[in-house]
């Protein structure tokens, strides 16, 4: 049998997994949530959620993937043959593919803005809201950009694990971290940025409500790429000496740092614009920020150009490394389950995602009024069903699976690399997976469905 692919180094493992975690969720969704949930308190609660729930669940997925060294669907089949748990494997594969379909649309927008920034067009936008709407509702332009981004992702995935995912993660992630650092400096240098800093750093405890907790938890899961088959698939390429807990900790640290730094980039900049509001929603990065860059253009033109290019490059890099990780679960499944060539499997996934992506993209234009699925547009439907429905359900199943179904020794062996490492919190870890995580995620789920509204 052909030897199965794996990552070549520990650094590659961490950077690829961090590439999955750091995505639009950090740069776009996190600041939006912080804005809507009262600033620093949200950040505090978010960090607690990452520590108490995020890291244990990441490790749980790593255990399943690394122990079996198989694609997600077959991993569950191997661990629990002929049982209902197998469905979780398929759920992971599907969830990842669903997310790929609509994530590619937004990634396409970031490419469009990067091109515009490079050409100096961001400076010339007079009404940034109208500009964004005109573009996103255009019948074919956003589709062209979506296809371009999907193809970029395709060309990485088709090269395989070491030559594709690992090599490009090692290239893109350090670049991304460097850009983030530069942008923080830029944002601090904007006039009036102190108000934004204050908003981020001073906790306002009057804002604490159950809703804030639930939003923080939902954001943590999305941001850490939990329950989407990605971590499990990547972990199936981990070498036997990889340290699961340490890897999860490093990835969580990088992911949270990037999210908070994105807040530091966006809020000082937003507050420096007259009338800038922190909770402007997704429009934050495509509508509010272009205005900020224009201000910089007006004072020092090349600086405005430089930083707008850096910002949209950052978004694109973040989106691409995440897309790679949502492409791989279904590719690995097709490749192994049906013994296809990597090239064929990758083509099937890319083409099918583009086909559905076209529908999602058109949701902002010609198909805006077409709501065939539960009164939602295609884009909203795919977002809803994956991020709001499958994600929490998958999270609950994974914690129950690793907490209750898998033999204690198996989990312990994976976490300690067969006794080579010490892990003092194992009992606590199992308790979290058995009780805390399923209950907490259950609450998030009911909240997403609007039961507490």
Contacting residues toward ligand PHE, per CB under 6 A: 20-21, 23-26, 99, 222-223, 225, 228, 230, 322, 325-326
**CA separation for the pair 238, 10 (Å, rounded):** 8
**CA separation for the pair 265, 248 (Å, rounded):** 25
- Of 263, 108, 112, the closest CA to residue 180 belongs to 263
**CA distances in angstroms from 450 to 218, 226, 239, 447, listed in the order given:** 14, 22, 42, 5
DSSP, residue by residue, 123-150: GG-S-HHHHHHHHHTSSSHHHHHHHHHH
- Of 447, 451, 234, the closest CA to residue 324 belongs to 234
Angle between helix axes 289-299 and 244-272 (nearest 10 degrees) is 60
**In sequence order, which residues have a C-beta less than 8 Å from that of residue 409 and are 6 or more positions away?**
none
* 353 close to 331: Cβ distance less than 8 angstroms: no
* 63 close to 51: Cβ distance less than 8 angstroms: no
- Taking the CB of residue 177, how many other CB atoms lie within 10 A of it? 18
The widest CA-to-CA distance across the chain, in whole angstroms, is 66
- Taking the CB of residue 425, how many other CB atoms lie within 10 A of it? 12
């Amino acid at each position: 049998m052909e030897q199965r692919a794996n990552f070549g180094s520990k650094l590659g493992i961490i950077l690829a997994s961090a590439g999955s975690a750091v995505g639009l969720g950090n740069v776009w969704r996190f600041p939006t949530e912080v804005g809507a949930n009262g600033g620093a308190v949200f950040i505090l609660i978010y960090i607690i959620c990452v520590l108490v729930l995020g890291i244990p669940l990441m490790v749980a997925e790593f255990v399943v993937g690394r122990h079996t060294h198989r694609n997600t669907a077959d991993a569950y089949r191997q661990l629990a043959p002929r049982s209902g748990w197998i469905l979780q494997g398929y759920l992971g594969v599907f969830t990842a593919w669903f997310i790929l379909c609509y994530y590619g649309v937004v990634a396409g927008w970031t490419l469009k803005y990067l091109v515009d920034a490079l050409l100096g067009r961001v400076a010339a936008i007079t009404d940034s809201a109208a500009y964004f709407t005109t573009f996103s509702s255009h019948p074919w332009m956003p589709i062209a950009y979506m296809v371009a981004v999907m193809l970029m992702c395709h060309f990485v995935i088709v090269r395989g694990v070491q030559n594709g995912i690992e090599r490009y993660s090692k290239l893109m992630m350090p670049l991304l971290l460097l850009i983030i650092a530069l942008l923080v400096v830029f944002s601090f240098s904007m006039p009036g940025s102190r108000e934004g800093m204050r908003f981020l750093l001073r906790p306002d405890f009057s804002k604490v409500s159950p809703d804030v907790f639930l939003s923080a938890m939902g954001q943590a899961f999305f941001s850490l790429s939990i329950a989407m088959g990605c971590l499990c698939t990547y972990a199936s390429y981990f070498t036997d000496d990889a340290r699961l807990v340490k890897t999860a900790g490093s990835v969580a640290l990088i992911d949270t740092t990037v999210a908070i730094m994105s807040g530091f980039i966006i809020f000082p900049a937003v507050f420096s614009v007259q009338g800038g509001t922190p909770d402007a929603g997704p429009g934050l990065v495509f509508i509010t920020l272009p205005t900020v860059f224009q201000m910089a253009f007006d004072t020092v033109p090349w600086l405005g150009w430089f930083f707008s290019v850096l910002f949209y490059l950052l978004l694109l890099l973040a989106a691409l490394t995440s897309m790679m990780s949502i492409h791989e679960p279904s590719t690995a499944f097709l490749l192994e389950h049906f013994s296809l060539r990597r090239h064929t499997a990758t083509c099937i996934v890319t083409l099918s995602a583009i086909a559905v992506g076209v529908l999602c993209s058109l949701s902002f234009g010609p198909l805006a009024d077409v709501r065939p699925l539960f009164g939602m547009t295609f884009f909203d439907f795919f977002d809803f069903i994956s991020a709001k429905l499958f994600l929490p359900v998958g999270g609950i199943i994974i914690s129950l699976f690793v907490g209750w179904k898998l033999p204690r020794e198996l989990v312990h062996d994976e976490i300690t690399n067969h006794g080579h490492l010490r892990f003092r919190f194992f009992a606590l870890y199992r308790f979290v997976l058995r009780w805390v995580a399923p209950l907490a995620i259950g609450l998030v789920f009911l909240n997403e469905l609007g039961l507490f509204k």
